[in-house]
Amino acid sequence: MSKKKQKKQNLKETAQEAFRLMKKIKLLLPAFMISGAAWGVVATYLPLLLNERTTLSLPAIGLMVALWIGIGSISSLSYGRISSHISRKKIILFSYLTIGIMGLLLAYFTNIIIIIVIMVLMGISIFLTYPVLFSFVSEITDESVESWTFGITFTFQTGGGTIILFLGGVLSDLFGIWMPFALMGMLSLIMTGLLLAYRKKPIVASMQ
């Protein structure tokens, strides 16, 4: 009886600690949602956009998407080296600003060369957000709530990203296949504005 009560108490305390951490990283929660949505938007709607607006064959479109993933993966693997020269605040600010601008440009331009340049920059910026976001969270995560913390952030990244992705699909049916990219661009620019507003404050608050 006492063991069961103690177990419930510990679980409650762990949940409270995880909720307290969510408050500390509240600025990053929408960032996780946008990053999750950005992957889904590009992977889902980019082939449709290229098929509608260009004369590229399906194998060529697949190659371009693979190029985007490859360049993005290289940027993620290079995060440690990049962060040794550029602060994390500048990296995350650059990433969401670039995603925002490239998303809006991708919704407008149809020139193949311009689209390739946009995809390269978007691949770098989207994939850089993943290690930098988790590095901010890891910085203030106590081992006792580690599983809760990463479960929560993963839920925001996948669940929130799915909601934005679904909204992009609805808007694409109403206005055109370019709308998911415009939505992603606008949300990323809003996130950039939030980061600029907090540029003189810590992105994550101390757990003390």
pLDDT tens-digit readout, 7-32: 444 666 666 766 777 777 788 888 99
Is residue 155 a contact partner of residue 35, using CB atoms and an 8 Å limit?
Answer: no
Whole-prediction pTM: 0.84
Gap between the Cα atoms of 178 and 110, Å rounded: 11
Determine the average pLDDT of the residues in 186-190: 95
Note the pLDDT tens digit of each residue in 152-179: 788 888 888 888 889 988 999 999 899 9
Q: What pLDDT is stored for residue 96 in this prediction?
A: 95
Rounded CA-CA distance 136/140 in Å is 7
Mean predicted confidence (pLDDT) in 73-84: 89
Taken in order of first residue, the domains within the chain and their CATH numbers are: 25-197 (1.20.1250.20)
The percent of residues above 90 in pLDDT, for the chain, comes to 28
Higher pLDDT, 121 or 150: 121
